[in-house]
Amino acid sequence: MGPNLSDHNRSVAQSPRSYRRKRKTINCDQCRRSKLRCDRQHPCGSCKRRNREFICFYETNLNSESPSHRSAQARGSRGARLTSPSGLSLPLEPPTSEANQAPPDSSHWETVLERPVPEQDADDTLSPLSMGPHMTLQEILDALPPRNCCDYLVSHFFTNISALFPILHGPTFQKQYTSFMQQPHGVDLSWLALLFSMCSLVLNTMDASDPRLATLWSQLSFDPTPNTTTLSASRRLLQTAMSCLLQDQFLIRHKFSTFEALLMIIYSTSHNGSVDQGWALLGMALNMGIALRCNTDDQSLGPIETERRRRCWAGLLTLHTYQCILFRDVDMSFLLDIKATMPVDANDSDITEDGISHPSRRTQPTQMSVMMSKLRLFRLSTQICRHISGPSRLDQRLLHHFDDAIAQEQNRWDATYMVDGSPSILDSTSYAYWCVLQTYAHHLYLLLHRPFHHSKAPCFLASSRTQCIAAAMALISLHREIFEVPLLRNYRWLLNGVTSLKALHAAVALNSCLLDTPSSDRAGDVDVGVCREEIEKLVLRMENFSPRSMICLKAHRILCSLQAQWGGGNPPPSNSETQPENILKDWTDIRGWMDADFINWNLDGAFSGS
């Protein structure tokens, strides 16, 4: 009797039914994180509206799987891991918390500008602590695009993207790449992370229908028709890059290749994901750069190695420009006090082991010219953001001083990249670089003149409102140029991220100015009809990019709501995400990747009924 009872008790204790049942998850993971109402379908209606069907899943689906099934799934093929919703570790937007949302009152700017705090159980961030299972070297190598496709992606990077972020010395990378292809199993994992991040960045700039990517889709068993194909594959490559760094123990093993890879990952994340998401990695990179003494010259190194370190330090500073402009909760001016030698304004071919050649009569911009301009912009934007964050923001003398400094930079860009004031038809890249730099200038104008642009402001200046309108129209026009001009076709990918954010800022600033002008078709020198038309065209462009850019998707909804205020366009769909009383939720949802300081959160009385 006793043994039988004991056996019975053991069998009951071992029975799965005796385990405590977990509470069933009502909302899908995405709705739970965004605090949205979920209809509990699969995929749910909210994820369908936000084009997130491929990452709509419920926690109970994962909990119900047996350990053996999950283990087998982890050992599955690369294609299965890529298409699995739980396999994506990069969020389409930063997580939010209702506790951090600010009320629609312009007195709560500082609350809105705080960086979002991720949830403790968030497992979809680009973090070294949230990577997937350990990958063998062979699995990592198999995750690379096929050789011919990889060759093309690397070539495309140095042809069309490198000058925007020239931290690499081309001939040196060529030797490293050739050596890797000859002996792939002897590769440095940190260098391999650099290659993965480079391919990820390039892939996200291309159309899935590009025939040069056919071998990649064949390897992944993907249908190249959907717009999200390149986005998903790009994020898979970026995740693998982080896995390479993690397995190389980059947190405790500092190598120069690790520093290069981290910078490339942060740059890619800033342009295709969230600027704020790379914030922690940027801090790691800063400490790593100092530990490797990249800000000081080592006399034992040759010219090439010295310039490589100078370039990476310069790239580190320019990455801080995004943080400086988009957030004001951290003062970046301390970086100005770190003494460092900047890279030489020279082409890769000018830098050899014998020294650096400096042509005496150089008339054309070099491969480093954009970086040199960005370094000056970093210094200027740091000073401006420190100014507008303190009591001196109402000092009109400083306002004019910074206005002149920005104008001087614009004149330099005109002389460097334009031909008699017009784009060069012989070199499309120079016009693209001019457009990119101009977006920084006009964005800084908006930040500088915001305290003076509204008639209800304590220190209203009519000239500041005029400057805000001009800067906003210029930003929207640059957005349209990049979208429409055939010369800029290779740079349309810039509209997936920061450039569209700046255009959104410009539209909100422009709308604020127009609501504050006298109600007439023409207010002074401002043609209200033309301004409204530009905003309407911007709405259509944002809609066009919405399938592959969550930034543009959010911007489109917000701009539709702005249109509805003044009776233009169609009102946004009637749902919980776009009703006027919930527009603030959209704004606070994106506080992690946009600079909201010049936006009138009360929309000039639209929420208060005035």
2 domain residue, yes or no? no
- From 499, 512, 475, select the one nearest 597 (Cα to Cα): 512
Q: Which residue has the higher pLDDT, 372 or 80?
A: 372
Does 261 fall in a domain?
Answer: yes
Q: Are residues 189 and 286 in the same domain?
A: yes
Q: What are phi and psi of 274, to 5 degrees?
A: -135, 135
Most confident of 36-40, 233-237, 589-593: 233-237
Compute the chain's Rg from CA coordinates: 26
Question: CA nearest 503: which of 526, 480, 531?
Answer: 480
Check whether residue 197 and residue 321 sit in a common domain: yes
Query: Measured at the alpha carbon of residue 589, what is the angle toward residues 587 and 595, in degrees to the nearest 5?
Result: 55
Residue 22 resides in a domain: no
Q: Do 347 and 407 have their domain in common? A: no
pLDDT at 578: 38
Most confident of 100-104, 121-125, 475-479, 495-499: 475-479
Q: Are residues 257 and 204 part of one domain?
A: yes
Higher pLDDT, 446 or 586: 446
What is the structure's pLDDT at 568?
Answer: 55
Cα separation of the two ends of the chain: 83
Question: In the chain, how many domains are there?
Answer: 2
Q: Taking 70 as the threshold, does the pLDDT of residue 294 lie above it? A: yes
Rounded mean pLDDT of 534-546? 91
Single out the residue in 308, 333, 355 at which a domain terminates: 355
What residues contact 23, with CB distance under 8 A and at least 6 apart? none
pLDDT tens-place string over residues 415-438: 999 988 888 888 889 999 999 999
| pLDDT tens for each residue of 382-420 | 999 888 888 888 888 999 999 999 999 999 999 999 988
The proportion of the chain whose per-residue pLDDT surpasses 70, expressed as a percent, equals: 69
Nearest Cα to 153, choosing from 187, 112, 105, 203? 203
Summarize the confidence of residues 3-22 as an average pLDDT: 44
Average pLDDT over all residues of the chain: 75
In a domain, 465, yes or no: yes
Shared domain check, 473 and 348: no
Do 425 and 535 lie in a common domain? Answer: yes
The reply to whether 24 falls in a domain is no
Residue with tokens 């031909």: 419
pLDDT digits (tens, 9 = 90+) for 58-86: 764 333 444 344 333 433 333 333 333 22
Tokens representing 294 are 């990249």
Average pLDDT of the residues in 463-468: 91
Return the residue matching tokens 């506790």: 99
Mean pLDDT along residues 491-503: 87
Do 399 and 279 fall into the same domain?
Answer: no
173 and 247 within one domain: yes
Give the tens place of pLDDT for each residue, 172-195.
Answer: 999 999 999 999 999 999 999 999
pLDDT at residue 221 tops 60: no
Render the burial of 112-144: b for 16+ CB within 10 Å, e for the rest: bbeebebeeeeebbbbeeebbeebeeeebeebb
Whether 416 maps to a domain, the answer reads yes
Residue 278 has pLDDT above 90, yes or no: no
**d(Cα 386, Cα 378) in Å, to the nearest integer?**
12
Q: d(Cα 148, Cα 216) in Å, to the nearest integer? A: 9
Decide if 596 is inside a domain: no
- Are the CB atoms for 196 and 238 separated by under 8 Å? yes
pLDDT reported for residue 134: 77
Identify whether 461 is part of a domain: yes
Both 349 and 492 in one domain: the answer is no
Are 212 and 284 in the same domain?
yes
Q: Are residues 265 and 147 in the same domain?
A: yes
> What does the pLDDT average to over 1-6?
45
pLDDT level of residue 30 (50, 70, 90 thresholds): confident
Sorting pLDDT into bands at 50, 70 and 90, what band is 315? very high
DSSP string, 117-136: PPPTT---SS-TTS--S---
Q: Which domain holds residue 449?
A: 393-518+526-569
Q: Which residue type occupies 444?
A: L
Do 199 and 294 lie in a common domain?
yes
